């Protein structure tokens, strides 16, 4: 899959379309694997702002809103800097993201985020 290949590439070489694909793909992978706490603890959370922008630009305002609200749980602690953000995440109550995780899973079930990924991949591929 194109997302998997790009996720391993040097991020400084990504185009904006590639960054959008990796941002949404990383969001889905991490939240589905361990919730928003895992997303923000891992490097995929570096692209949270890009995930919001990609969701808005591609007709998924509910997803953008959900990611923004998850970022707000970190308060002023949201940063694209991985190690700094990890320090904030480990200090959170383990249930801090529970309601947002459930909302993400409901959104994933109700909307076609696979279609969003296909759309983003098509924008990357000529």
Is residue 70 within 8 Å of 38, Cβ to Cβ?
no
Q: How far apart are CA 88 and CA 124, in angstroms?
A: 33
* Range 85-99 average pLDDT: 95
Whether 19 has a pLDDT exceeding 80, the answer reads yes
The answer, as to whether pTM is greater than 0.85, is yes
Percent of the chain with pLDDT strictly greater than 70: 91
3-state secondary structure of 93: coil
Is residue 104 within 8 Å of 66, Cβ to Cβ?
yes
Q: How far apart are CA 54 and CA 64, in angstroms?
A: 8
pLDDT at 124: 86
Average pLDDT, the chain: 91
Domain boundaries along the sequence of the chain: 14-124
Residue 111 tokens, joined: 């909307």
């Amino acid at each position: 899959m194109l997302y998997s290949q790009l996720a391993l590439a040097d991020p400084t070489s990504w185009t904006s379309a590639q960054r959008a694909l990796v941002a949404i793909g990383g969001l889905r992978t991490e939240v589905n694997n361990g919730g928003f706490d895992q997303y923000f603890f891992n490097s995929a959370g570096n692209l949270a702002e890009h995930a919001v922008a990609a969701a808005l630009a591609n007709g998924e305002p509910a997803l953008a809103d959900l990611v923004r609200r998850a970022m707000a749980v970190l308060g002023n602690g949201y940063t694209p800097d991985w190690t700094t953000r990890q320090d904030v995440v480990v200090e959170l109550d383990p249930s801090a993201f529970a309601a947002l995780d459930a909302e993400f899973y409901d959104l994933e079930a109700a909307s076609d985020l696979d279609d969003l990924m296909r759309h983003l991949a098509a924008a990357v591929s000529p």
